[in-house]
């Protein structure tokens, strides 16, 4: 893994960068696709370095509530205009009534870029989406009995009033912690197909590149999306598994923080790891269900022609002189 130039952006790295090739020998284009943990903690100096990468967009795998609740100054909010992306539509983020005040407070000390009118001068867009979709949660909801469902709804109301995480903890203790990370990942892919399609469509538009994909820690949601992207352009599976596993080292400096943060949702410490075999087993299950990753991707609505076009965007074609 390449050395990071950000003290406050662990797990930051380029995906490919000329070192990865697909099955045809074509190289993953350099300087186009990056991944990381959340960008909320960047200092102004680091923001300037981040901007120096020329990122046209940020693909943030968190929903509005998670973004607004997260700690950090969120200084990039003064440079990347936030949009909520859902089913092909990108709408400007409107801060929620409950958390909007906190978001404004987080960003009030930021160094602002303004145009002649005095309005913020954005240099790119932050697209917010999330593989933890409503269908995914409904799938989990109906896996517990009626009494558990009833109690969980009461806890959900308490969460809304007090800003707690009792609903998530309840399901973690009663269901999720007894399941493997592999099952969680496969369910996210099954019930988040429209999210996968939305992100792949973003990558087709070169006006969004280069981009950085992140979630909270850059391991789970980000790891799945990057794996799908690499599978779509026919990168060898062993390289896909290895890329996922790099997050183990990438998150080592903040391991205690990761465990603490997932603990807020009642999740077991085992969910903080990133082992190649996890993504390998996910791949096996996807191929068992769909025959291939390309078939799975097509089932999201991202056609074979779209997949071919994405290769043209993200790969450097092999030539006889290579």
**Cis link prior to 210 (omega < 30° from 0)?**
yes
Is 213 within 8 Å of 203 (Cβ atoms)?
no
Q: Give 113's DSSP letter.
A: P
Q: Identify the CA nearest to 95 among candidates 67, 74, 119, 59.
A: 67
Question: What is the mean pLDDT of each successive set of 10 residues along the chain, which is 322 residues long?
Answer: 76 87 93 97 95 97 89 92 93 71 57 48 93 92 91 91 88 89 97 98 97 97 98 97 96 95 92 96 98 98 98 87 52
Structure-block tokens of residue 73: 């100054």
Cα atoms in the 13 Å half-sphere on the side-chain side of 30? 3
Domains and CATH numbers, the chain: 13-315 (3.90.190.10)
Unique residue bearing structure tokens 């309840």? 170
DSSP conformation letters of 60-100 = E-S-HHHHHHS-S--GGGGTEEEEEEETTEEEE----TTTH
pLDDT score at 120: 60
Q: Identify the CA nearest to 143 among candidates 97, 99, 191.
A: 191
Cα atoms in the 13 Å half-sphere on the side-chain side of 299? 16
């Amino acid at each position: 893994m390449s050395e990071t130039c950000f003290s406050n952006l662990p797990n930051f790295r380029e995906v490919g960068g000329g070192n990865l090739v697909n099955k045809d020998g074509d190289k993953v284009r350099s300087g186009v696709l990056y991944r990381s943990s959340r960008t909320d903690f960047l200092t102004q100096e680091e923001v300037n370095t981040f901007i120096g990468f020329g990122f046209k967009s940020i693909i943030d795998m968190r929903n509005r509530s998670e973004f607004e609740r997260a700690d950090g100054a969120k200084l990039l909010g003064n440079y990347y205009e936030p949009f909520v992306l859902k089913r092909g539509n990108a709408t400007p983020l409107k801060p929620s009534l409950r958390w909007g005040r906190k978001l404004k407070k987080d960003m009030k000390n930021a160094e602002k870029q303004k145009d002649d009118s005095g309005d913020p001068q954005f240099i790119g867009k932050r697209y917010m989406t999330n593989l933890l979709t409503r269908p995914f949660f409904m799938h989990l909801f109906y896996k517990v009995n009626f009494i558990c469902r009833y109690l969980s709804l009461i806890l959900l109301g308490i969460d809304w009033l007090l800003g707690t995480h009792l609903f998530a903890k309840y399901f973690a203790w009663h269901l999720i912690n007894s399941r493997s990370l592999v099952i969680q990942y496969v369910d996210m892919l099954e019930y988040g197909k429209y999210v996968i399609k939305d992100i792949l469509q973003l990558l087709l538009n070169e006006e969004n590149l280069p981009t950085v994909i992140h979630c909270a820690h850059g391991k789970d949601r980000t790891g799945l999306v990057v794996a799908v992207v690499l599978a779509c352009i026919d990168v060898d599976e062993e390289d896909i598994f290895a890329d996922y596993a790099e997050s183990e080292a990438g998150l080592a400096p903040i391991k205690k923080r990761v465990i603490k943060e997932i603990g807020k949702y009642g999740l077991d410490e085992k969910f903080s790891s990133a082992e190649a075999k996890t993504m390998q087993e996910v791949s096996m299950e996807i191929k068992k269900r769909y025959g291939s990753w390309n078939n799975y991707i097509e089932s999201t609505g991202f056609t074979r022609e779209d997949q071919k076009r994405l290769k043209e965007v993200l790969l450097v074609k092999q030539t006889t002189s290579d």
